[in-house]
Structure formats: structure tokens, C-alpha cells
Chains A and B, each alone.
Chain A
């Protein structure tokens, strides 16, 4: 049951792209009107969770500009750009 497995995936761990793609898939499924009502409600609930996740991802808007610094031991560090 790939459907059940997919549903079990934690929404929070999805990337924006994956969440958006799955949301789109759910919307298309609902719009086709072929699902059982029970499945449709479950799909809607998952869709709503995916939407919240996407919105949260879009809300994370931070603009830090850092400059890479190669340290003596070869490891990398950053310093803020002036």
C-alpha cells in the first residue's frame, strides 16, 4: 500500500518541492471526484497539513550573507560580509 506509506510520511520532513508536488497530486485527486468520501477527507487533511508546511517554508525568509573562510587546517568557516 504505497498510499498508506506516503500518508505516514511526516509532513515536517518534506522539502518545499516535495510538499508542493504532493499537495498538487492530492488536489488533482480530489478534483477528479473519483475517491471514496472517507479517503477524500483523509486526503484533504493531509493536503491541509502540506499547505501549512509550504506556508511555513515560505515564511522562513531570512537573508544572511556569509563569506567562506578557509582555515589553516583546511576546514571551512564563515564570517559575515561587511
Chain B
């Protein structure tokens, strides 16, 4: 009953009808779309079509690039790369699934491109493709310079004029497209093509290669970041100079090249030295060559002269010997008379000295005697006598001054007992004792009329103190 009701309200389609209707609706509603997402499940079929899926955090959608669209796609799809795919939505009726039919594909911004380049760089670095030991020295003077670049544009002209200015050389250009679909493959093929040339073949094999391109956007330079180009450059046995983009641009071919030039002009300058400099250097070397031989010859000449000087001079030696002999002969003849004369002279001198000495000795004696006789006179004796007399008179005077008689003359009197013994103490004088007082001119007898008064200190002294 429910079914009947449902059937009554809902139109009935066949499978083909409904899938066809959905397909029309989808294709009509999304005529042309740009879808951003990460590439995954990329598969290239032998038919030439490329199948893939685009995904983001929330979903996934299948996509196809038809074989006819592959050459104009704009890039080579790779897993893990974020892209913006342009195309339309279409349903595949047999399975009622829908998908993107893509005809344009580009890297989703510089970030995605750089991430892809960096991933490739790390992989090739790991492989050792960029090692310094792989780099080869450029030839000093290449005969032929090979250039891989576009035939049109400033790059080949810059290289031509630089080479013509520095040192005219043959230039072989292998023309390639430097951007766009297939550019990387053509560039790789050109590098390998130069490398494969046989030396001495119909086309002369270059001695050095320049792979060059003018400036451009990151996308424009992408061919020189492609693995196929890097590998071709790494495999190339001809020394290779890269000059891609401007000085600030770095592409992966720069890492694998033997030298990296900032510009095509700089690459040409690296490839060939200026002719004038080479000529000047050669002239200098030639001068050194001549100078070196000149100096060596001069040295040999000097050594020869020294050796010649070192040879003995025989006539000279004979002459010298002759001269010495003559000299000795002459001296021999003169020797005896000379000796006699010498001795005689010595004898005369000695005789002279002997008589001189005798006279001198006698003279000295006389002088000494004279001196002694002069000193023999009475004067010193008289002086001695005078001196003795003076001393005697001096002593007399002193003797007089100490005589008691002289004291008496000054008013003192000497008290003695009658026998003439001096009385020096008052106590020794008894009352009525006889005394003698001696004056300078004579003695007077006296009698003591009192007892001695006990005056230890004399009144005379007291008087003196008054």
C-alpha cells in the first residue's frame, strides 16, 4: 500500500534515464571549474590518458586528462603536489560516477612549486649528484663552445658578443624551447646530444657547454628544475656552465653544473679568457724563458772565469822562486859583515856605558860626602845648650815660688818649738810653752799665754766669711 502511494507521487526512471539526467544536470551546472587539491593516485595508462584523484581534508574526486590534452596540460602531474586543475565535471554513465575532465593544470602557487623543487633537491643531494668532487675544471682555451638555449632572444646574442669581444671562437647552438610543455625533455636531449658527439666528427664536439635562459617567473624557469634535465647535466662529460634566470634565481641545474654563472654574459666570460690577457701572459712566460737561459749561461761563464783564475800561473811561480833565490843570495852575502858591524857597535856601546857608569858612581859618592860634611857644624850643639839654660832658669823660678821662705816674705810666720820643729796644730801648744816665730828676715822668741780655744774652724776663716 505504501508502495502504491509512493508510485503514485514519484516519477519512475530507468537506470539509463536517471544516470543520463544526473549527467546532464552535473554538466549543465558546472560547465567549467577550477579545483584546488593535492594530486594522488596518479596513473598514466598505455593509452596515453592520465588518471588521478584530487583530495583535500574533507573529500576526494577522481579526474582524467585525456591523451589529447596531455601536451597542453602545463605540467606533469605527480603525486603529492598541490595543483589547481581546470576542466569540467562529467559523469561516467556506465557506473554512475562523476569525475573531473582536466585540460589545464598548474602548481597551486609558489609555495607548492618550491616545495616540489626542494623535495627533488634533497633527493638528488642524497644521491650525491651535487657533490663538489663531481665538478670538473673548465678548459683554459676551448676551441668550440656549445650552447643549449633558445635561438631567439637576448641570451644567445649576449653569449655571441661576449665571446667575440674576448676571444672569437666557434659557437654551436643547440636550439631548444626554454619553457612550456616538453621544454625539459628537449633541453635534456640537447645536453645528451652534445655529449654523444664523437670527437673529430662532422660537427665539432664542444669543449665546454653553456646551458642558459633569460630571466622569468618561477614557473618559466621550471624546466631547469626538472629531474630529466638535472640528470642529463650530471651525466654530461663535457664541462657545463649553467646560467638560468637572473642572478637571484637559483634552479636545480645550478647545483649540478660544474660552474654556475649569474647571467649568460658571465657564463661566456667563464667559458673563455680574454685573448689579450692570454697573449700578455704568454709574452711574460717567453721573457722568463729567455731570461732563464740567459742567467744560466751567465752563471756558466762566471764559473768558467773563476776556474780559469784558479789555474796555477807557472811562469809567474818560476819568477817568484827566482826572485826569492836572488833575495836570499844577496842577504847571505851581506849577513857576515853586517853581523861583525853589529857586534862592534854593541861592544863600543858597552865600553861607553862602562866608563860613563864609573864617572857617574864617583860623582854620586862626592855629592853624598858633601852633604854629610855640611851637616857636621857646632850650631846644633849651641842651640842645645841655650835650650838647657832656658829650661834651668825656668825651673829655678818655679823652685823659688814654692820655697817656704817666699811665703814668709808675703807676711806669714812659721811657728816652731825652740828646737826648730814646726808646730802645725794649736792643740800641740801648751800654755806658757816656748815658741820661735820665724819671719823672712829672722826669728823671734815668743811664749804662749793661753790655752788653745776649741775652734775647729779657724776665726780667720770666719773672718773671711764675714
**Chain A interface (Cβ < 8 Å from any Cβ of B):** 15-17, 20, 23-24, 26-27, 29-31, 33, 35, 37, 40-41, 44, 47-48, 51, 54-55, 57-58, 61-68, 70, 75-78, 81
- Of the listed stretches B227-235, B240-248, B296-304, B445-453, chain A binds B296-304
Contact of B171 among A16, A51, A65, A75 (CB under 8 A): A65
Contact B173 A67 (CB under 8 A): yes
Instruction: Quote the shortest CB–CB distance from B365 to chain A (angstroms).
Output: 89
* SS class, residues of chain B in contact with chain A: helix
Contact of B286 among A29, A51, A65, A75 (CB under 8 A): A51
Contact A62 B168 (CB under 8 A): yes
| Cβ of B398 under 8 Å from chain A | no
Contact A66 B171 (CB under 8 A): yes
**Chain B interface (Cβ < 8 Å from any Cβ of A):** 139-141, 151, 156, 160, 163-164, 167-175, 190, 193, 197, 202-203, 275, 278-279, 282, 285-286, 288-293, 295-297, 299-300
Contact A81 B151 (CB under 8 A): yes
What 8 pairs between A and B have smallest CB-CB spacing? Answer: A30-B292, A63-B168, A16-B141, A61-B168, A44-B293, A47-B289, A31-B292, A65-B171
Contact of B173 among A29, A30, A63, A81 (CB under 8 A): A81
- When distances are taken between beta carbons in the complex, the residues of chain A under 8 Å from B151 are 67, 81
Instruction: Quote the shortest CB–CB distance from B235 to chain A (angstroms).
Output: 19
How far, in whole Å, are A58 and B280 apart by their CA atoms in the complex?
A: 11
Contact B170 A51 (CB under 8 A): no
How far, in whole Å, are A37 and B298 apart by their CA atoms in the complex?
A: 10
Contact A58 B289 (CB under 8 A): no
- When distances are taken between beta carbons in the complex, the residues of chain A under 8 Å from B172 are 66-68, 78
Chain B CB count within 10 A is highest, among A17, A62, A68, for: A68
